[in-house]
Amino acid sequence: MTHTKIAVVTGAGSGIGRAVALELAASGWALALAGRRHETLEETAAQAEPAHVLCVPTDVTDPAGVAALFAAAAERFGRIDLLFNNAGTFGPGGVPLDELSYDAWRHVVDTNLNGAFLCAQAAFRRFKEQTPQGGRIINNGSISAHVPRPHSVAYTATKHAMTGLTKSLSLDGRPYRIAASQIDIGNAATDMTARMESGILQANGELAPEPVMDVADVARQVRFMAELPLEANVQFATVMATNMPYIGRG
């Protein structure tokens, strides 16, 4: 199989990042996988095509680490065509706003917002400088980019901010054939969302299970967005379990 496009996937060691990486690999993409733990990145790579996968342990909150990730990807593959900006954290669950520590707030903001910015900025620079010019950034937003869950102030604030980041990237990228978009996901079945099926706090104070969907359905949507020509863009996409409480939640 000829690999004609190269993707950097952050948070690639598990969950949505792993599913998207495997979907892209199956479609012929070469991959630079980023995440905190080398062993989980290797597990993802082993399920793809190891000869066309580069694993780069990366802390997305570290500017030097992010710069090294994109330098390694460009050196290995010659160019970069896509960033799936996926690394993130929910932060501490179930903590009321007035009890949330500043350290916990900072951890979520540093990972979800500052990390997303650093990766997007590094990708933007590569896309602007390479020949042929251009590339695509797909940011992983959330249903929480639209409406919050109870006790989720840090996560929700960063996901609302992600929307502003996406819009600015899309606007500032126009002169350089850089497309930027956002996928807002609701209840994809991963280890991080296992509690959805057993019961999660609702706005009325009750605990209730919520429907989930196959994470592979998310991965297929990301691949569709990724494989559009740069002259076309899905600016925002919402992919959610059909019966989850999003409509009616806000």
Positions marked catalytic: 155
- Return the closest-CA partner of residue 210 out of 227, 187, 228, 231: 187
Q: Which two tokens stand for residue 225?
A: 């967005």
Residues 6 or more apart in contact with residue 245 via CB below 8 angstroms: 202, 210
H/E element holding 53? strand 53-57
Look up residue 14 and give its DSSP letter.
S
Q: In angstroms, rounded to a whole number, what is the distance separating the alpha carbons of residues 43 and 108?
A: 25
> What angle do the packed helices 153-172 and 115-129 form, to 10 degrees?
10
Of all residues in the chain, what percent are helix, strand and coil, respectively (each to 5)?
45, 20, 35
Give the chain's largest Cα–Cα span: 55
Residues 6 or more apart in contact with residue 65 via CB below 8 angstroms: 58, 59
Contact of 173 with 233, CB cutoff 8 Å: no
Contact of 86 with 13, CB cutoff 8 Å: no
β-strand pairing of 178-186 with 236-240 = parallel
